[in-house]
């Protein structure tokens, strides 16, 4: 696993996982070593120099610092493979993220939704407060991933344009547990899950472009082209991430109150 040129090292690590601390003699009694005492000592000295093992008197044990590094690395790999995101933009301690297009934002939020914002599962589900309803993915695999979410999703949208109404009927109403329009001025799009809050700030230029393209009743082909161009156009979109129970509860209650209007 670690040292093909010295198989004794891997055996030593395997033994020290369950037994510590051990002297060289004690270690060799527990292992099926085919190597000499001197070779085993050499392997231990190399592990000590590499920071994997620490020596305490005549005995040896695994380094806690090395164990923590392995643990952190393993967590990262699991996130990469489980969520398919490489989790580059959403570490647990993140407070600020920038994406550069609506397409990048959609991919980032899909990954975030799939991994539940790196929070523990919450039966209350996801809460959203949006300027406009987001245009769904064209990619079938991304659609499948989005529809695979099992938690409830409750959404308030605050613009009632032609495209918003179309998206509401065709895309959101069949799949979202609760959704409604509320005439409300908001400064950012908002998502809440468990103790995590995502505040998404669109630049004014993009908001004005969205308002225009969502509202214009034009040739359908021309509208599709314009929306496609907007999706991939470069904009700096800021996401503020907060992990605080009280703040999340306040935002969640705000959305619940809007449903009562």
Alpha-carbon distance of 259 to 181, in angstroms, equals 9
All CATH 1.10.10.10 domain ranges of the chain, comma separated, are 7-62
Looking at the chain, the whole-number percentage of residues with pLDDT higher than 90 is 41
All CATH 3.30.870.10 domain ranges of the chain, comma separated, are 85-259
User: What is the pLDDT at residue 87?
Assistant: 45
Q: In the CATH scheme, what is the code of domain 85-259?
A: 3.30.870.10
Instruction: Provide the whole-model pTM.
Output: 0.63
User: What is the pLDDT at residue 147?
Assistant: 84
Looking at the chain, the whole-number percentage of residues with pLDDT higher than 70 is 85
**Of residues 97, 137, 141, 135, the one with CA closest to residue 117:** 97
pLDDT in tens, 166-219: 999 988 998 899 999 999 999 999 999 999 999 999 999 999 999 999 987 666
User: What is the pLDDT at residue 192?
Assistant: 95
**Strand ranges of the sheet holding 196-201, from the earlier edge strand across to the other edge:** 96-99, 237-243, 196-201, 189-193, 126-130, 153-157, 178-181
The CATH class of the 7-62 domain is mainly alpha
Q: Is 105 left (phi over 0), alpha (psi -120 to 50) or beta?
A: alpha
User: What is the pLDDT at residue 75?
Assistant: 59
Evaluate if residue 69 carries a pLDDT over 90. no
pLDDT in tens, 112-133: 888 888 888 899 999 999 999 9
What is the pLDDT averaged over residues 84-100? 65
């Amino acid at each position: 696993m670690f040292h093909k040129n010295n198989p004794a090292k891997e055996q030593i690590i395997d033994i020290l996982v369950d037994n510590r601390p051990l002297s060289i003699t004690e270690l060799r009694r527990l292992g099926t070593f085919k190597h000499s005492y001197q070779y085993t000592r050499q392997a231990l000295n190399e592990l000590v120099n590499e920071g994997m093992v620490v020596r305490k008197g005549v005995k040896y044990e695994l380094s806690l610092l090395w164990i923590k590094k392995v643990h952190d690395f393993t967590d990262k790999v699991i996130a990469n493979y489980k969520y398919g995101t490489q989790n580059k933009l959403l570490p647990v301690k993140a407070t600020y993220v920038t994406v550069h297009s609506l397409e990048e934002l959609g991919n980032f939020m899909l990954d975030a939704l799939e991994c539940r914002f790196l929070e523990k599962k919450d039966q209350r589900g996801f809460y959203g407060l949006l300027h406009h309803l987001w245009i769904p993915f064209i990619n079938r695999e991304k659609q499948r991933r989005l529809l695979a979410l099992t938690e409830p999703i409750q959404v308030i949208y605050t613009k009632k344009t032609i495209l918003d109404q179309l998206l509401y009927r065709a895309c959101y109403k069949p799949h979202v547990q609760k959704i409604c329009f509320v005439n409300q001025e908001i400064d950012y799009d908002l998502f809440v899950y468990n103790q995590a809050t995502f505040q998404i700030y669109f630049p004014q230029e993009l908001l004005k472009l969205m308002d225009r393209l969502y509202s214009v009743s034009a040739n359908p082909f021309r509208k599709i082209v314009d929306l496609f161009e907007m999706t991939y156009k470069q904009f700096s979109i800021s996401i503020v991430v907060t992990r605080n129970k009280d703040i999340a509860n306040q935002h969640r209650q705000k959305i619940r109150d809007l449903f009562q209007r």
